[in-house]
Amino acid sequence: MGLQIHFVVDPQGWCCMGIIIFVWLYNTVFIPKVILFPHYEEGHISAVAILCYYLCSLFCIVSLLRSSVADPGRLPENPKIPLTEREFWELCNKCNMMRPKRSHHCSRCGHCVRRMDHHCPWINNCVGEDNHWLFLQLCFYTQLLSSFTLILDFCHYYYFLPLKKTNWDFFVFRHELALIRISTFMGLVILGGISGLFYTQLMGIFTQQIVKSQVSF
């Protein structure tokens, strides 16, 4: 099934997404320039580490964009309800439209979403039946990129050999400590928040699967 475009006009959501894109852009630009490329030039790391970091960064931003514009499961205005399934539908008291049970009305988006989990301001979109897997994918790649960044921040000061060739005329090297500390702080905050969210999402899925298996028996 192809992904349908779903764009939400919400200034608050745009601001939240702007913050996430800024954090991604910050680490994608400064981490290679301060850590990866200088240590690669002096033979401390291989080109594979640089390639892996850029791949993680690419997967992360692509997942963010896909989950933000993917249709979460918006219900059409005049849904065709099969006679055999009418008992599984109900009337929404906010938009006065018929919807399947377990659907919810999103006040931000202004419509009902099938199996809506929550409205996430960080992707400026609802998380529902059709884009839940994209949201989980985003959480996974964000954890991966944050962990990779934190490991590089740690190794730069406590594991890698000191750099011999550095151009201290460059802004990034004159303010290296501050840049690394900012990167570490953002990495810890994002990794902690996303890890907790990813855990609760997985536990919810596993719980639903267990309930379904018990009902089927």
Using one digit for the tens of pLDDT, what is the confidence trace for 171-187? 556 677 788 888 889 99
Q: Where are the alpha helices (DSSP H) in 44-165?
A: 47-69, 132-158
Q: Active-site residue among 56, 109, 112, 120?
A: 120
- Write down the pLDDT at residue 53: 94
Give 111's strand partners: 106
Contact 156, 34 (CB under 8 A): yes
List the domain boundaries for the chain: 12-72+128-216, 74-113
Read off the pLDDT of residues 43-102 as tens digits, 9 standing for 90 and up.
Answer: 888 899 999 999 999 999 999 999 999 888 888 777 777 777 777 888 888 887 888 888
Interior CA angle at 131 toward 125 and 133, to 5°? 130
At 71, give phi and psi (nearest 5°): -65, 120
Q: How far apart are CA 41 and CA 129, in angstroms?
A: 47
The whole-model pTM stands at: 0.83
pLDDT band (50, 70, 90) for residue 40: confident
Q: Is the pLDDT of residue 116 over 90?
A: no
| 120 labelled catalytic | yes
